[in-house]
Structure 1
Amino acid sequence: MNYNKYDKDMTWEEYEKILLKRPGFKEALEETRLEYEIARALIKARLEKGLTQAEIAKRMHTKQSVISRVENARTMPSLAFLKRLAEVLNASLQVQFKLQ
């Protein structure tokens, strides 16, 4: 099974089901919760806008591989990156603290 395959018509929920089947994904998720939440938000927004990683990268003047690393929770993007991403997506960027 290809755990990375998705298309522009796929919903976030469908793609998330694929990711959760990836071996070791759930365990890594707990260790990288914040990176995952950023990845999830990016993928969801990108799919809702009907954009590819390459299209986002072009608009941000970066490489598609950078967008891929963020979507795969392999990097923690800077605040400046997130601000540029929000502009490209025509979205607002919100930060929230969840008290426990």
Structure 2
Amino acid sequence: MQTHEQFIQEMLKDPAVRAEYERIEREEMPMLDAILNARAEAGLTQAQVAERMGTQAPAVARLENALVTGKHSPSMATLQKYAAALGKRLEVRFI
């Protein structure tokens, strides 16, 4: 039986899988880290952020998860609401 790490290493041998993994690591993980760090700095749970945004906790969980899965890209309006709920503002930069 394979361990999780062995399974990942096996999957990464596929060039398409490796390319997507590297894209997520390069493009999406920094955004997720920024969002999760901002929420941690604010000392808020997903439920508390949701209440401040006028939504439900599962919506906040989906928002945070979307940046990892790439299944859904949150709108700028949603990200602005999230930032405001944390007492922050959204800034988008091209580097």
TM-score range, shorter chain: 0.5 to 0.7
Q: Distance in 1 between matches of 2:21 and 2:58?
A: 21
Q: C-alpha root-mean-square deviation of aligned residues, in Å?
A: 2.5
Among candidates 89, 93, 100, match of residue 86 of structure 2: 89
Gaps of 5+ in 2: 13-17
Radius of gyration: which is bigger? 2
Superposition deviation, residue 29 in structure 1: 4.8
Q: Distance in 1 between matches of 2:46 and 2:75?
A: 18
Superposition deviation, residue 39 in structure 1: 2.0
> What SS is found at the alignment partner of 1:76?
coil
Structure richer in helix, relative to its length: 2
Gaps of 5+ in 1: 1-20
Q: Distance in 1 between matches of 2:22 and 2:39?
A: 24
Note the alpha carbon deviations across 1:8-66, whole angstroms, 9 max, x for none. Answer: xxxxxxxxxxxxx8x75x96653435443332211101111110000001110112112
Aligned to 2:32: 39
TM value normalised by structure 1: 0.61
> What SS is found at the alignment partner of 1:46?
helix
Indicate the percent of aligned positions where both proteins have the same amino acid: 37
